[in-house]
Amino acid sequence: MNDYIPQEIEPKWQAKWEADGLYHADIDESRPKHYALTMLPYPSGDLHIGHWYAMTPSDARARYKRMNGFNVMFPIGFDSFGLPAENAAISRGIHPKKWTYANIENMRKQLRSMGAMWDWRREAVSSNPQYYKWSEWFFIQLYKHGLAYRKMSPVDFCPHCNTTLAREQVWGEDRHCERCETPVIKKDLEQWFFRTTRYADELLNYEGMDWPERVKVLQTNWIGRSEGAEVRFSVISDQSSALPAPVPPWPGRQDRQAQVSEVEGSLITVFTTRPDTLWGATFMVLSPEHPLVEKITTPDHKVEVEAYKTQAARQTDIEREAVDKEKTGVFTGGYAVNPVNGEKIPIWIADYVLMTYGTGAIMAVPAHDERDFAFAIRYGLPIIPVIDRPDGISKSLVFPGSVAPGFADLLQTANIEFYAAPVGSLGDGLFVTLRREQVDGYAALMRQHLQPGNWNEIVGAHWLFIFDDGIMELDGVSSDQAILARCKAIYPPVNHNRTVMEMVNSLPFYRDVLFHADYGAMINSGEFSGTPGETAKRRVTQWLKAKGVGDFAVNYKLRDWLISRQRYWGAPIPMINCQKCGWNPVPEEQLPVLLPDDVAWKPTGESPLKLHPTWKQAQCPVCGGAAERETDTMDTFMCSSWYHLRYLSPHYDKAPFDPAEYNYWMPVDTYTGGIEHATMHLIYTRFFHKALRDMGVTEGAEPMIQLHNQGMVLGEDHEKMSKSRGNVVAPDKLVARYGADAVRAYLMFFARWDMGAPWNSTGIDGTVRWLRRVWTLVSERSGPGTCSPESRRNLRRKVHQSLRRVTRDFETFEFNTIVSALMELLNTMYAAREAGAVGTPEWDEATDIYLRMLAPVCPHIAEELWAHIGKPYSIHTQPWPQVDEAAAQEDEITIPIQVNGKLRDRIVVPADTEDEQVKSAALASQAVQKYLAGKPPRQVIYVKGRLVNVVA
């Protein structure tokens, strides 16, 4: 037989498989179906090694499933709308359509070189009108079912280019436009949203889904459900000292996302997870974008507020939310009334409050929230503890000379924990830590021994200020100022402090007891003081509800899905705006709304749909008058939320998919793709499916039963592959040099699939060598057949053990060990050949099983060798071999012997040896005897078939 030349055999078999329609997937009720789906690629121009890494193992597993009797559908297509096409248009003057379809043509060719079992008849291309007609249709259905709506939302905007910018188009610390380097601004636009939040609770349910735990956790955190309360604060004027007007009745539950715009008049609604801390709310913070900011801000604060809003708008949400960032904000001049105690509290704005979470406003409880604490310390706002410390710890620093001599001895006698250490340059002070039950005794002792003209404070679980004429307790805003005034009178260096907390926070000894975010009994909370932590939230919320100032509320981090893109290359949003009739969908019989081809590209990237002279002119579907089309297009995540449905029947023109195909193939049995899609795409597609289900379009709770994610292939320099870094690995070159089979095998072998790894160009020689060895071995068909029955049995054992491993690893997506097992078995077969096994029935069986196991991994060489040994075409329609458990059974086992957990010896015993016999054989070992040194063992542990541990 000739040498192994993959460049000859691979195109040959690919052409034959194609001509024979070997991979056509058609409905066949007699067989169980398997829908294997790999994530829709974007046609960026060149197939990336990352595509191969993602798709080859998916293909191998689809093939394995097919050999296991399943009718497998493994489709492919292109997610072909999106930003890069427009970038090419702007920078190189190529029409996005032309650029996209040229790329698709190239990638089809490249994809075919993989030898994957795609059914190309089912190819779906999201930028084809016959595809995006249905994307538009879905938009209209969602709109008709109340799941699409418009609201104002900010975008990053380049004022010079007059364009909305994607996050990746904003560069640098100063956030400038990638094209013209102008600093970006935020611009508020009316945009379309889908109500994903309506499905938030259902999306948290993963019942019956075989998805990786990490993805479920990521999604759960992304959805970010939290239970708490909404509370309404009324705004009052600076001058107002009279009691505030009563808060109007609670309007009842409304749609979550609509809430924000419904904040009006003089009411601020906040969401809080800690209604039990309401008595400690000493100020409010609005997001700088909050609609009430303008109304509340007093004339003398206008300049500062406007300046702050501008700087906040230039940051990303990530920067704004960062916990370690310095907290900044400005006072608006406005005040609100804390509904629980009538306290007048100032209203600030700060960038750490985001308009996209909750109601865009918070009540700040600095004693029990880390960020609020930092903010209050910085701006001198009062901090009043309202939740008891569960640990009951208080601290007190006794200043040098503030107590009568001998105080330390008294503490010792009272069993109070303390140490003496210098306080600045004042001499030694006493640093006291108190348990709850010691506070009263300590306070009494201090009252007796405090020298005139001093005070002492107890802070933490208790807040007592002991003066020579009595004790004051920090229990509210007024006592805060009263205590501070006394302290300033006694010790002028504290004059600059604005609050008691600021004063005590300057002593590092106190810092760990000043603030906590735990649950505990309520304190300083009027009639609620003493309410235990377990019931506090519920009882306070019930009371708020009864008073009409609040209610139970659930909030989510998940936001509604922003669909609008101010771009050309996307599916048009099929809506028409009429001055008389408002927004209405394009009548379904007029779909698709086609993208115009004759568009002009301004070098700035301004949307050509807006600039097109006639495209946006339309007739109102209601009154028939002149109206305007929506010129925004859809987010490409819309296209990729339903592509698995278009694959069912890409040419069907009566509906997005053929119901007969749906009924047979759906749901997707195995979905594979990158872990980077764990939240956005995989939440959107689940939302989409559930929304369609509720409209009667789809069935079942979930679109994808099983999910497996691959990791990423980095460049050889351990950096993300990119053209600019010059570290991109081109699969075409590798295929030309080594053949597709070797590249496929190497990609499965070189890393753990679910983790990914940096590319390693040196290892591929090993897989090439391996395939050549397979070739050589199978080529040789006649031999002496002279080897011993024992070595023939050993060969069979190894074959069936390998089959067991390979089968298991295919089920669990552990592709690297599949290839290892095949390499190992080949080594055994080489040894068997040396022993004269060629020509025996065991050898023939080994060859047969070997090629079947190889077929999903390296389909071309397996097919070639299968033909060579005279087996019927095609190996890919052969059944998967069955493990002969009896043959795989070991006769003898080696048991490692440990003494005190360290390996000291090994014994070989028949596999069926009784436990007691194994133990006594282990104890009889010379090595064990040596370590026992004549003493009896304390314990002998035998883990059946695994190991013996002798405890001396």
> Do the Cβ atoms of 394 and 436 come closer than 8 Å?
yes
Between residues 335 and 775, which has the closer beta carbon with respect to RNA? 775
Question: Given the rule CB under 7 A, which of 23-31, 139-147, 420-428, 713-721 is the region that contacts RNA?
Answer: 713-721
Between residues 279 and 750, which has the closer beta carbon with respect to RNA? 750
Cα dihedral 45, 48, 51, 53, rounded to 10, equals: 170
Tell me the C-alpha distance between 675 and 840, whole Å: 48
Residue 894 interacts with RNA (CB under 7 A): yes or no:
yes
Tell me the C-alpha distance between 164 and 176, whole Å: 12
Tell me the C-alpha distance between 935 and 929, whole Å: 9
Of the residues 68, 341, 791, 817, which one makes contact with RNA according to CB under 7 A: 817
Question: Given the rule CB under 7 A, which of 302-310, 315-323, 607-615, 882-890 is the region that contacts RNA?
Answer: 315-323
Q: Which residue has the tokens 């503030």?
A: 402
Is the Cα dihedral 721, 722, 728, 730 positive or negative?
Answer: positive
Residue 81 interacts with RNA (CB under 7 A): yes or no:
yes
Of the residues 70, 222, 491, 583, which one makes contact with RNA according to CB under 7 A: 222
Of the residues 165, 362, 383, 536, which one makes contact with RNA according to CB under 7 A: 165
> Do the Cβ atoms of 162 and 604 come closer than 8 Å?
yes
Tell me the C-alpha distance between 676 and 672, whole Å: 12
Nearest distance, CB of residue 25 and RNA, angstroms: 24
Between residues 659 and 766, which has the closer beta carbon with respect to RNA? 766
Question: Given the rule CB under 7 A, which of 490-498, 602-610, 700-708, 749-757 is the region that contacts RNA?
Answer: 749-757
Residue 730 interacts with RNA (CB under 7 A): yes or no:
no
DSSP per position, 89-147: HHHH---HHHHHHHHHHHHHHHHHTTT----GGG-EETTSHHHHHHHHHHHHHHHHTT-
Between residues 342 and 901, which has the closer beta carbon with respect to RNA? 901
The residue among 602, 715, 698 whose CA lies nearest residue 644 is 698
Is the Cα dihedral 834, 836, 838, 840 positive or negative?
Answer: negative
Residue 712 interacts with RNA (CB under 7 A): yes or no:
yes
Between residues 4 and 843, which has the closer beta carbon with respect to RNA? 4
Residue 715 interacts with RNA (CB under 7 A): yes or no:
no
Between residues 701 and 757, which has the closer beta carbon with respect to RNA? 757
Tell me the C-alpha distance between 381 and 367, whole Å: 11
∠ Cα 352 358 362 (to 5°): 55
Residue 289 interacts with RNA (CB under 7 A): yes or no:
no
Which residues inside 821-850 make contact with RNA, applying CB under 7 A? 823-824, 827, 830
Q: What pairing do the DSSP bridges indicate for beta strands 756-758 and 267-272?
A: unpaired
Of the residues 485, 903, 911, 924, which one makes contact with RNA according to CB under 7 A: 903
Residue 261 interacts with RNA (CB under 7 A): yes or no:
no
Residue 177 interacts with RNA (CB under 7 A): yes or no:
no
Between residues 180 and 562, which has the closer beta carbon with respect to RNA? 562
Residue 103 interacts with RNA (CB under 7 A): yes or no:
no
Of the residues 27, 102, 166, 313, which one makes contact with RNA according to CB under 7 A: 166
Between residues 654 and 935, which has the closer beta carbon with respect to RNA? 935
C-beta neighbour count of 144 within 10 angstroms: 11
∠ Cα 416 417 423 (to 5°): 115
Q: Which residue has the tokens 């009279």?
A: 242
Between 324 and 343, how does the x/- string for binding to RNA read (CB under 7 A)?
xx------------------
∠ Cα 526 527 533 (to 5°): 90
Of the residues 767, 807, 847, 925, which one makes contact with RNA according to CB under 7 A: 767
Residue 691 interacts with RNA (CB under 7 A): yes or no:
no
Question: Given the rule CB under 7 A, which of 394-402, 478-486, 541-549, 745-753 is the region that contacts RNA?
Answer: 745-753
Distances (CA, A) of 153 to 123, 150, 316: 36, 9, 14
∠ Cα 531 537 539 (to 5°): 65
Between residues 294 and 518, which has the closer beta carbon with respect to RNA? 518
Nearest distance, CB of residue 772 and RNA, angstroms: 6
Of the residues 164, 277, 499, 874, which one makes contact with RNA according to CB under 7 A: 164
Residues in contact with RNA, counted by CB under 7 A, come to a total of: 98
Residue 109 interacts with RNA (CB under 7 A): yes or no:
no
Residue 221 interacts with RNA (CB under 7 A): yes or no:
yes
Burial classification of residue 448, based on how many CB atoms lie within 10 Å of its CB (0-12 exposed, 13-18 middle, 19 or more buried): exposed
Residue 155 interacts with RNA (CB under 7 A): yes or no:
yes
Which residues inside 557-576 make contact with RNA, applying CB under 7 A? 557-559, 561-562, 564-567
Residue 191 interacts with RNA (CB under 7 A): yes or no:
yes
Residue 907 interacts with RNA (CB under 7 A): yes or no:
no
Of the residues 26, 28, 174, 317, which one makes contact with RNA according to CB under 7 A: 317
Which residues inside 509-568 make contact with RNA, applying CB under 7 A? 557-559, 561-562, 564-567
Of the residues 92, 654, 902, 935, which one makes contact with RNA according to CB under 7 A: 902
What are the strands, taking DSSP E only, across 392-508?
Answer: 394-398, 417-422, 428-434, 455-460, 464-467, 470-473
Is the Cα dihedral 474, 477, 482, 483 positive or negative?
Answer: positive
Which residues inside 615-654 make contact with RNA, applying CB under 7 A? 635-637, 640
The residue among 639, 688, 645 whose CA lies nearest residue 126 is 639
Between 651 and 690, how does the x/- string for binding to RNA read (CB under 7 A)?
------------------------xxxxxxx---------
Tokens of 490: 């006694």
